[in-house]
Amino acid sequence: MPELRALPELPVYIEEDHHEVLQHIYKHIGARQLPLENNTLVHFDSHPDMLIPGDLRAEDCYDKSSLFNKISIENWILPGAFAGIFRTIIWVCPPWSDQIPPGVHNFQIGRVKETGGLGVTCLESYYISEGLYTAPDKLDSVRDVKLIVLRLDESGNRLDWSDQLLTVKEQLDEVNHFILDIDLDFFSTLNPFVNLYNEANLYSQLKELYTFKPVPKDLELEERISLALELGENRSIMLNRLKSIFSFLAEEENLSTYEGLGEEYIPRVSRIVDNLRKHYPRLDIDWNLVHDAGCTFDDSELPHHISSKQEIQTLLASTEKLIDYLGKKPTVITISRSSEDDYCPPNQVEDIQSGVLSLLQLKYSGVKIHHCYLDE
């Protein structure tokens, strides 16, 4: 492996949407300032961002233009893992995030032989509910992924950090590099769908319709795999049928003439439709957005927690503590504001960003900040 080139400064790239940071990581890989493979990503975020785009094919992961056109905020990390860019991912999440349980999750990502897309062997609801769980024998071109999830407690502490991070610290001691990635919604988080058509109590109705029943943890492995495949397929069918119904509504505004997939859901969807029209008689309802909101439910919800100033300070202190524990200076730092899509409260984002940048400048020398979002 060729020797890496040293960077004269520590670059900090600030983007608005999180997936836009990937281009900067690739740029430094191309310049041989980051390794071509097996990088460690330390990811502070209220969301995992570890899904897979539905239209992404395995070969797209090796074509930057195709990849960057297909990824979005919730699915930009794992395509890089399939390409070998990331090997170890440390997701540090606040107390209100529960999409993936804390602990070490070793799994594989690979090309699904039947479709040419990507699948994973991780038996968590986060993947099963998206139809992404795939049996190992159905994959080829597999890569190993180590995902370490650290969830802070209400006081911003985590007592067993040293146990869960020991393998990562050993790896950093060996390779002497990592990528530090921070989403500002780590410190304060909005679920933009919570108040969608709230006078009609839409959110709770969607939760009842879309919530996913998880695979029990106490089953034998073969039973879990079998049930995961069954539930994942059923979930995909359900979401596709509901998408068909809401897409029809967006065009026709009336379900009485609907004929097609998902007719069994018409009575429940009709109740939602009637309720929305009762409370918003003069409004042009965005039915595709209603379906998108429903798709955010699996066996958990999108996190929603608007932090106080004191909570933000506590989380900044926790971030500093973890940075100190890692004991290494990152090679590249990426930051996402996530304010225009309302995942980070727009009225808090500037203060949070200022606090994060002050912390980075305090902890590291040679910091050079690139406000990339201002160039857009």
Q: Name the DSSP class of 189.
A: B
Checking if the pLDDT of 153 tops 90, the result is no
What order of strands is seen across the sheet that includes strand 86-93?
A: 118-120, 103-112, 139-151, 86-93, 39-44, 179-183, 332-336, 10-15, 367-371
**Chain length of the chain:** 376
Token pair listed for 34: 């980051």
> From CA 50, how far away is CA 48, in angstroms rounded?
5
Which phi and psi (to 5°) does residue 358 adopt? Answer: -65, -40
Q: What is the pLDDT of residue 326?
A: 84
Checking if the pLDDT of 230 tops 70, the result is yes
Token pair listed for 350: 């500037």
> From CA 107, how far away is CA 175, in angstroms rounded?
22
pTM of the model: 0.93
CATH 3.40.800 fits 10-191+304-375, yes or no: yes
Exposure string of 228-255, with b = 16+ CB inside 10 Å and e = fewer, is bbebbeebeebbebbbbbbebbbeeeeb
Picking from 342, 301, 83, the residue whose alpha carbon sits closest to that of residue 203 is 301
> From CA 155, how far away is CA 147, in angstroms rounded?
24
Residue 238 CA, chain-centre distance (Å), reads 22
Cα-based distances in Å from 135 to 10, 124, 143, 313: 41, 13, 14, 43
Domain boundaries in the chain?
10-191+304-375, 198-294
Per-residue pLDDT band for 163 (boundaries 50, 70, 90) equals: low
SS3 content of the chain, % helix, strand, coil (to 5): 45, 15, 40
For residues 88-96, average pLDDT? 93
Contacts of 259 (CB under 8 A, 6+ apart): none
Token pair listed for 191: 């679920």
Which range, of 147-156, 199-208, 272-281, 337-346, averages the lowest pLDDT? 147-156
Pairing of strands 39-44, 139-151: unpaired
Paired strand residues for 93: 151
Give the tens place of pLDDT for each residue, 317-326: 999 988 888 8
